[in-house]
Chain A
Amino acid sequence: MKNLWHILQLQWQSAPAFRLSLLYLTLLTVLALALPWLPLAYGPNDLDLDQIYQAPFGWKAEADKPRHWLGTDGLGRDVLANILYGARTAFAISLPVMAMASLIGLLLGAMAGLFGNQRLQMSRAFLIALLISLVPLSYYGIYLPIQLSNYGANTVEFILTGMLAIGLSLLLVLVLRVFLRQFPVLKEKSALPADELLLRLIEVQTSIPRLVLILVLAAVAPPTLLALTVLLTLTFWTGTARLARAEMMRIRELPFFEAAISLGYTPKRLLMRHAVPHLMGPVLVAFSFGLAGLLMLESTLSFLNIGVSTDLVSWGRMIAGIRANTAAWWLVAIPGVVLSLTVLALQTFSYYVLQFLQNKK
């Protein structure tokens, strides 16, 4: 964390473009957070059917109504309110998704980089026991809760299945491990190819373009915000994981890390105390690049009207409004500029952080 702060401070002093983009992002965030207290005349979903397709900065407003400063769309929805609330939606979706995806990617990538293909040793008995215990874990941990929520169950039943899920799997691992150790073949230790597993998983996921994958999964999932968040998280962790893995492999070879290994620290301590602080910079780069990608993807999805409900306020939804009336240029110009500027600011930010990291090397 101290590391990150240092990077930001240095670049803030040296690069004006970095300062500008950070200022813009802060301004947008503050606006999105302060929305309920702003004196906006219209809500983002308020219809004003008397004033449809109003051009922005039009001075002949109706006397008894507040003015639409940035115009209206085909249903008379205020563009200004949609822009501001759209910023809120965009960040409300992309920030948690990227945070989750970064966490998953950082953990998996760092572990794959640390252990490689050879260094994660465990007895075969334990490995088999772990694999078998996945069955009760998925039955009590995934299948039953879904069924329970389908048929409407009370909290006690959820807690009961949750306890069973953890208890049964643990019990199974312990019992099976003792039992399987009777066989000499299974007693031997073998390496878990963590690196290979991660690379294969990433390869399977990225063999379908991300947009296509999300469209296909959105056809299966219900069009709720939660489902969309899960979908995006599941498709966005790969970038961070790749970066963290490569960086971890570099750090592993550095003298200070070899010293830490030879001191006999546990893998947990090696990861948390010695590796992760150095991984923060690259992860920050991946985070802001990913955030920019997510903003584009979210607005593309709401432009195509897939995976999100139509009452979700979004920049993409407003841009889609121009397809009904191509003369309403402000419907693409205003949200398009705001969206592009936000993406640009995020990319500038990550560009400068990346440059700092490369210069340091």
Chain B
Amino acid sequence: MANFVFRRLLIAIPTLWLIASVIFLLSKLMPGAFGSAHLAEQEAGYYSRGDAASRDRNYRQFLETTGQDRPLFYFSITSAALPDSLHRVFPERDRDFLSRISWQYGNPEAAAVFFRSLKLWEASLTESELQQVQKYLFAIYSHQSPAQLQQAIAGMARQLPSNTGLWNDIIESSEHLIVNSSGYTYLFPSAQWHGTQNQYHRWLSDLIQGSLGNSLRDGRPVTMVLSEAIGNTWWLLLASIVIATLLAMELAILMVRRSGRVWRSTLLPSLFLLDSVPLFVLAMVLLVLLANPAFLQLFPVYGMGYYNTYDASWLQQVSQWLQFMTLPMICLVLANLSYLTNQFYQAVAAVAGQDFIRTARAKGLSEQVVIRRHMLRNALLPVITLLSDFLPALVAGAVVIETVFAIPGVGRLLIDAVLSRDYPVIVGIVVVVAVFRLLSHLLSDLLYSMADPRVRSQAS
């Protein structure tokens, strides 16, 4: 058995690693390093009097501490028309400009020289001078053809006749850029090796040590954010799956009885009907009908309520919890009931025709005993695998339910994280869900061997 568990783990861990890595890398490929929006806000603020240089310094420092100034992966294959050290250029605006001009002229070195001289010159200007050449600077930053670039530079020379070294650098480097441009540089790839000083390596080694990074929204560790949310979801899921399983089992027993024809002819079609109602529609309908002053106010509408857990007894706590969780639980149970009942019924019905059931009946055992003692145990086997496959579907259901009923659980956290593009939290949730699935598989294997002695003897 231990051997079996070990093999399962061996297969599951690469899967887990692959999924988490793909999502991490995809999230990093999105434009917009985190923090740029935050710092741009400061720029616009009336009271912030920090000059551009100090802002830039702060920003760099922030990127250094969060590791965002490093290359993404161990190696990179980019087009030869793009500069190598693009990941070190900040802010994002400048990075876009540099990559665009080097792509356009097909000469990254000349583009980098021009970019640097332009930035140096811009930094040497005073506020009023900057105002005068604003138009031409804008033209440079958005130019499409070499002629436009030349025009803009000539215009700046007319506006601010100067003869400093910095200005001459610009003239020189722009001419160099235009003369040395080549058309098809982008067709050639250029590969680079970055070594272990990269974002992915850092993220992976943190992950192995159990740290998922910090949330981008409030800077708290992702593990903390997750552990706060996971309790609510866990109890909701556990309660609903227990109720749904028991209910489905009883319904299946009702239908499989010899006198169960009425049940079969009414339950199966209505379950089929129930199955075609999407979960969120079901939740909204129940919300409108049962938690609405306009119809019937049986349950509180949203959330978990604000209550003090310190001076309440556990009974009070549970009743408080039940008051808010009953409606979500009913939704989850109803949404999954038809599928579960169908599977249970098929499993039980398959066993019902077998010889040992006839023998049990022939011995004169009562219908109840035959069903509960003889059929159920044998029908359990397919159902156990089913339940472990079923847990992830419940997680998906929890996403919808928690959003509709505003329960602060993992599902709602996921929606919030997706809407605000809080990637560390998203990756964290994916890891947790995958681990959850892995554990449920392991658990189902264990249960399987407990329910069926034949499997146990084979495995050992």
Please report A residues at the B interface, Cβ cutoff 8 Å. Answer: 135, 139-140, 143-144, 147-148, 151, 160-161, 164, 203-204, 207-212, 215-220, 292, 296, 299-300, 303-304, 306, 316, 319, 322-323, 326-327, 329, 332-333, 336, 339-341, 343-344, 347-348, 351
User: In the complex, what residues of B have CB within 8 A of residue A207's CB?
Assistant: 12, 15-16, 19, 434, 437-438
Q: Are B276 and A347 in contact (CB under 8 A)?
A: yes
Choose among A144, A218, A347 the residue that contacts B275 (Cβ–Cβ < 8 A).
Answer: A347
Q: Are A144 and B278 in contact (CB under 8 A)?
A: no
The 3 nearest A-B residue pairs measured at CB: A344-B276, A211-B396, A209-B396
Q: Are B100 and A151 in contact (CB under 8 A)?
A: yes
Q: How far is the CB of A219 from chain B (nearest CB, A)?
A: 4
Q: Are A151 and B419 in contact (CB under 8 A)?
A: no
Q: Are B280 and A300 in contact (CB under 8 A)?
A: yes
Please give me the residue from chain A that is nearest to B12 by CB atom: A207
User: In the complex, what residues of A have CB within 8 A of residue B189's CB?
Assistant: 139
Please give me the residue from chain B that is nearest to A204 by CB atom: B15
B355-406 contacts to A (CB < 8 Å): 392-393, 395-396, 399-400, 403-404
B395-446 contacts to A (CB < 8 Å): 395-396, 399-400, 403-404, 414-415, 417-419, 421, 423, 426, 429-430, 433-434, 437-438
User: In the complex, what residues of B have CB within 8 A of residue A161's CB?
Assistant: 187
User: In the complex, what residues of A have CB within 8 A of residue B301's CB?
Assistant: 326
Q: Are B18 and A204 in contact (CB under 8 A)?
A: yes
B61-108 contacts to A (CB < 8 Å): 77, 79, 82, 100, 103-104
User: In the complex, what residues of A have CB within 8 A of residue B79's CB?
Assistant: 143-144, 147
Please give me the residue from chain B that is nearest to A296 by CB atom: B278
Contact with A along B1-25 (1 / 0, CB 8 A): 0000000000010011011000100
Cα–Cα, bound, A351→B268 (Å): 13
22 A-B contact pairs sorted by A residue (CB < 8 Å): A139-B189, A140-B187, A143-B77, A147-B82, A151-B100, A151-B104, A207-B438, A208-B433, A209-B396, A209-B433, A215-B414, A216-B429, A292-B276, A304-B400, A306-B415, A306-B419, A322-B284, A340-B276, A340-B277, A344-B273, A344-B276, A347-B276
User: In the complex, what residues of B have CB within 8 A of residue A327's CB?
Assistant: 292, 294
User: In the complex, what residues of A have CB within 8 A of residue B279's CB?
Assistant: 296, 300
Q: Which interface residue of B18, B23, B281, B403 has the most chain A CB atoms within 10 A?
A: B281
Q: Are B23 and A151 in contact (CB under 8 A)?
A: no
Q: Are B280 and A216 in contact (CB under 8 A)?
A: no
- Say whether chain A's binding surface is mostly helix, strand, loop, or mixed: helix
Q: Are B15 and A203 in contact (CB under 8 A)?
A: yes
Cα–Cα, bound, A204→B272 (Å): 30
Please give me the residue from chain B that is nearest to A138 by CB atom: B77
Whether A336 contacts B414 in the complex (CB less than 8 A), given A151-B100, A151-B103, A164-B187, comes out as no
Q: Are B395 and A332 in contact (CB under 8 A)?
A: no
Q: Are A209 and B276 in contact (CB under 8 A)?
A: no
Q: Are A208 and B276 in contact (CB under 8 A)?
A: no
Choose among A144, A217, A219, A340 the residue that contacts B186 (Cβ–Cβ < 8 A).
Answer: A144
Whether, in the assembled complex, B285 has its beta carbon less than 8 Å from a beta carbon of chain A, the answer is: yes
User: In the complex, what residues of A have CB within 8 A of residue B395's CB?
Assistant: 209, 212
User: In the complex, what residues of A have CB within 8 A of residue B426's CB?
Assistant: 216, 219
Q: Are B415 and A304 in contact (CB under 8 A)?
A: yes
Q: How far is the CB of A345 from chain B (nearest CB, A)?
A: 8
B15-37 contacts to A (CB < 8 Å): 15-16, 18-19, 23, 26-27, 29-30
Q: Are B280 and A219 in contact (CB under 8 A)?
A: no
Whether, in the assembled complex, B288 has its beta carbon less than 8 Å from a beta carbon of chain A, the answer is: yes
Range, interface on chain B: 35 or more
Q: Are A300 and B285 in contact (CB under 8 A)?
A: no
User: In the complex, what residues of A have CB within 8 A of residue B433's CB?
Assistant: 208-209, 212
Whether A209 contacts B15 in the complex (CB less than 8 A), given A139-B77, A327-B292, A347-B272, comes out as no
Q: Are A319 and B275 in contact (CB under 8 A)?
A: no
User: In the complex, what residues of B have CB within 8 A of residue A144's CB?
Assistant: 79, 186-187
Q: Are B19 and A204 in contact (CB under 8 A)?
A: yes
Cα–Cα, bound, A214→B277 (Å): 21
Q: Are B292 and A216 in contact (CB under 8 A)?
A: no
Q: Are A340 and B27 in contact (CB under 8 A)?
A: no
User: In the complex, what residues of A have CB within 8 A of residue B104's CB?
Assistant: 151
Q: Are A316 and B437 in contact (CB under 8 A)?
A: no
Choose among A208, A215, A218, A341 the residue that contacts B434 (Cβ–Cβ < 8 A).
Answer: A208
Cα–Cα, bound, A292→B79 (Å): 43
Known A161-B187, A220-B27; 18 more pairs at CB < 8 Å? A147-B82, A160-B187, A208-B392, A212-B414, A220-B23, A220-B30, A292-B276, A300-B400, A304-B403, A306-B415, A332-B285, A336-B281, A336-B284, A336-B285, A339-B278, A343-B277, A344-B276, A347-B272
Cα–Cα, bound, A151→B277 (Å): 46
Q: Are B278 and A340 in contact (CB under 8 A)?
A: yes
Q: How far is the CB of B182 from chain A (nearest CB, A)?
A: 14
Whether A319 contacts B284 in the complex (CB less than 8 A), given A204-B19, A207-B19, A327-B292, comes out as yes
Q: Are A219 and B396 in contact (CB under 8 A)?
A: no
Q: Are B294 and A326 in contact (CB under 8 A)?
A: yes
Whether, in the assembled complex, B352 has its beta carbon less than 8 Å from a beta carbon of chain A, the answer is: no
Please give me the residue from chain B that is nearest to A332 by CB atom: B284
B287-334 contacts to A (CB < 8 Å): 287-288, 291-292, 294-295, 301
Q: Which interface residue of A210, A211, A347 has the most chain B CB atoms within 10 A?
A: A211
User: In the complex, what residues of B have CB within 8 A of residue A329's CB?
Assistant: 288, 294-295
Q: How far is the CB of A335 from chain B (nearest CB, A)?
A: 8
Q: Are B27 and A219 in contact (CB under 8 A)?
A: yes
Please give me the residue from chain A that is nearest to B421 by CB atom: A219
Cα–Cα, bound, A25→B400 (Å): 27
Cα–Cα, bound, A299→B280 (Å): 9
Q: Are B399 and A215 in contact (CB under 8 A)?
A: yes
Q: How far is the CB of A217 from chain B (nearest CB, A)?
A: 8
User: In the complex, what residues of A have CB within 8 A of residue B423's CB?
Assistant: 219
User: In the complex, what residues of A have CB within 8 A of residue B278's CB?
Assistant: 296, 299-300, 339-340, 343
Please give me the residue from chain A that is nearest to B99 by CB atom: A151
Please give me the residue from chain A that is nearest to B78 by CB atom: A143
User: In the complex, what residues of A have CB within 8 A of residue B186's CB?
Assistant: 144, 147-148
Q: How far is the CB of B217 from chain A (nearest CB, A)?
A: 13
Q: How far is the CB of B85 from chain A (nearest CB, A)?
A: 18
Q: How far is the CB of B14 from chain A (nearest CB, A)?
A: 9
Cα–Cα, bound, A140→B186 (Å): 10
Choose among B280, B287, B417 the residue that contacts A326 (Cβ–Cβ < 8 A).
Answer: B287
Please give me the residue from chain B that is nearest to A326 by CB atom: B292
Q: Are B418 and A215 in contact (CB under 8 A)?
A: yes
Q: How far is the CB of A136 from chain B (nearest CB, A)?
A: 8
Cα–Cα, bound, A140→B295 (Å): 62
Cα–Cα, bound, A329→B294 (Å): 10
User: In the complex, what residues of B have CB within 8 A of residue A341's CB?
Assistant: 276
Cα–Cα, bound, A219→B417 (Å): 8
Q: Are B281 and A340 in contact (CB under 8 A)?
A: yes
Q: Are A212 and B396 in contact (CB under 8 A)?
A: yes
User: In the complex, what residues of B have CB within 8 A of residue A208's CB?
Assistant: 19, 392, 430, 433-434, 437
Whether A218 contacts B15 in the complex (CB less than 8 A), given A139-B189, A332-B284, A344-B276, comes out as no
User: In the complex, what residues of B have CB within 8 A of residue A220's CB?
Assistant: 23, 26-27, 29-30
